[in-house]
Amino acid sequence: MIRLKHPLVLGTALAALAVTAAYAAGPDLGAVKQSATNWPAIGMFAFFVLFTLGITYKAAKGTKSAADFYAAGGGISAGTNSLAIAGDYMSAASFLGISGLVYTSGFDGLIYSTGFLVGWPIVLFLIAERLRNLGKFTFADVASFRLDQTSIRIISATGTLVVVAFYLIAQMVGAGKLIQLLFGLPYLYAVIIVGVLMIVYVAFGGMKATTWVQVIKACLLLGGATFMAGAVLYKYGFNPEALFAAAVATHPKGDAIMAPGGLVNNPVEAISLGVGLMFGTAGLPHILMRFFTVSDAQAARKSVFYATGLIGYFYILTFIIGFGGIALLMSDPAYFSLDAAGAFDKLKGMIGGTNMVAVNLANAVGGPYFLGFISAVAFATILAVVAGLTLAGASAVSHDLYAQVIARGRTNEAAEVRLSKIAAVVIGIVAIYLGYVFENQNVAFMVGLAFSVAASCNFPVLTMSILWKGTTTWGALIGGLVGLVAAVGMVVLSKAVWVTTFGNPVAIFPYDNPALFSMPLAFLTIIVVSKLDNTKRAQRERALFDAQFVRSETGIGADGAHAH
């Protein structure tokens, strides 16, 4: 079983956000103590909000058509888009969660960093360009290119909304807890601030505002993390070996932090985790949407290349930050809760929890104002990620469910965009409500579940419809549904939910990660059902593959830049 050596260490605020924790079999989120109000952090965050609202105002004036709203007019450059993709992917979970994991377990933190990154080459080699050549606004456009609009849009939109919902709950609860710690504001305030701001960004500014918020946050986060890692290395003469030696000398586990620990013991669990992380990336709706904001396939492929570099660089920084935390914070009692004798637990005793390693390190290397800056960046990070999720959800509602399923194409752009804005408002309100309801629930497994659903429903439906001629509507519909139900069902029956939440004595499904089973099941179902499907419609759909294939491979006939 994959088991974090110290599940309790992660049982703090940010566990909610961390996919790391998602696989930690559900630590108790527990009550987080509200800190003293942190004015520098609030001030810098307020500045970020004002600045991004200014951008939203400008974006709103330039957002008129559906192409503007969903895809920023198709006019985003590859460089900008790569920053936005990286921004979507570098959540507060990866920043605080992984550096915290490196702090407690050393090497084991690297296992997640690699898992999160290796999905990107797959996206590039198999999906990105074809997606751009075939689609307009959502990945359902691509999956339903030659298949039945109604059925495929229903399954794609369902997959999208399920992924968005789980992801959003984890982010909202995480945001509330984080803000309590960082800013000293009450939980509910934080949840409402996040909800209202994301509604404003998405409903008024559409994809343009969402993209620029993401880009700014990515630059701030990369800049802040670079400074921190640089400051750590500076203290050790830019010699990583000296940093590692200092860390080993300080850490209670000593030299064991340089080698694999107890994180991955069961090979099946390890591979299932890997499958979920790798292929889930290729099925996340808010990431896939970003390939429609660039002008052509070439720009799509360049975006992935740059984004992979940025994300890889970021994970290496979090690793250095984690080790810096060990070397610089672990022997300083100022960062720990002390017992009566003045002693402290180096691993579990950090004030605010282990996920505060990066934040405390900011104070250690840059003083209270840099601490404020990093806190503000962490909040901005959550905000940007939830905005991207909201836009993906709103697009699935308006562009897929409303325009194609309910109105059957008999609608106009203006009505569709208006509905999308309403959907964004509704999703925002629902998210605030869910954040409120789930405050004291265990939500740590939800990001992991979102990745598993993306890998088991969205990814198979999308790739099979693009790559295999034999795929029919029935095959994709039933296969996607089976993958979705299997992924959710297996997680419900696993320890994280069945035992921890429902209080049953034994888990029915023995693993924490379902992807190794649910994803192949979805592919198999698509193949078998498609093979059995010999309806007139199925024959027509197979005949239409050639035209789709020509366009997916060459871009001939694809919409050019959406610019007007």
Partner 1 sequence: MADLETARIAQSPHFKELVHERTRFGWTLTIIMLLIYFGFIGLIAFDKALLAVKIGGGTASLGLVLGVTVIVLAFILTGIYVQRANGRFDELTAALKRDVGR
Binding site for partner 1 (CB under 8 A): 107, 110-111, 113-115, 117-118, 120-122, 124-126, 129, 240-241, 244-245, 248, 255, 258-260, 264-267, 270-271, 274, 278, 298, 301-302, 304-305, 308-309, 312, 315-316, 319, 546-547, 549-551, 553-557
Q: Report DSSP state, residue 31.
A: P
Minimum CB distance to partner 1 smaller for 118 or for 351 = 118
Minimum CB distance to partner 1 smaller for 257 or for 427 = 257
Both tokens of 480, joined, read 């996607």
Minimum CB distance to partner 1 smaller for 480 or for 555 = 555
Side chain identity at 12, as an amino acid letter?
T
Minimum CB distance to partner 1 smaller for 342 or for 560 = 560
Minimum CB distance to partner 1 smaller for 190 or for 264 = 264
Instruction: Give strand pairing partners of 336.
Output: 350
Query: Nearest approach, Cβ of 173 to partner 1 (angstroms)?
Result: 30
- Helix/strand/coil for 61: helix
d(CA 26, CA 10): 9
d(CA 248, CA 533): 61
Both tokens of 159, joined, read 């997959």
Q: In terms of residues, how long is the chain?
A: 564
Cβ–Cβ under 8 Å, residues 10 and 100: yes
- Helix/strand/coil for 350: strand
Query: Nearest approach, Cβ of 35 to partner 1 (angstroms)?
Result: 34
Residue 505, exposed/middle/buried by CB under 10 A (0-12, 13-18, 19+)?
Answer: exposed
- Helix/strand/coil for 73: helix
What's the sign of the alpha-carbon dihedral 109, 112, 118, 120? negative
Between CA 562 and CA 564, with CA 563 as vertex, the angle to 5 degrees is 115
Minimum CB distance to partner 1 smaller for 227 or for 549 = 549
Cβ–Cβ under 8 Å, residues 82 and 303: yes
Query: Nearest approach, Cβ of 169 to partner 1 (angstroms)?
Result: 28
Query: Nearest approach, Cβ of 95 to partner 1 (angstroms)?
Result: 16
Query: Nearest approach, Cβ of 553 to partner 1 (angstroms)?
Result: 5
Query: Nearest approach, Cβ of 122 to partner 1 (angstroms)?
Result: 6
Query: Nearest approach, Cβ of 145 to partner 1 (angstroms)?
Result: 12
Minimum CB distance to partner 1 smaller for 245 or for 532 = 245
Minimum CB distance to partner 1 smaller for 409 or for 560 = 560
Both tokens of 478, joined, read 């039933």
Query: Nearest approach, Cβ of 269 to partner 1 (angstroms)?
Result: 9
Q: How far is CA 39 from CA 65, 116, 320, in A?
A: 41, 34, 28
Minimum CB distance to partner 1 smaller for 406 or for 467 = 467
Neighbouring residues of 314: CB distance < 8 A, sequence distance ≥ 6: 86, 90, 94, 95, 221, 222, 225
Query: Nearest approach, Cβ of 17 to partner 1 (angstroms)?
Result: 22
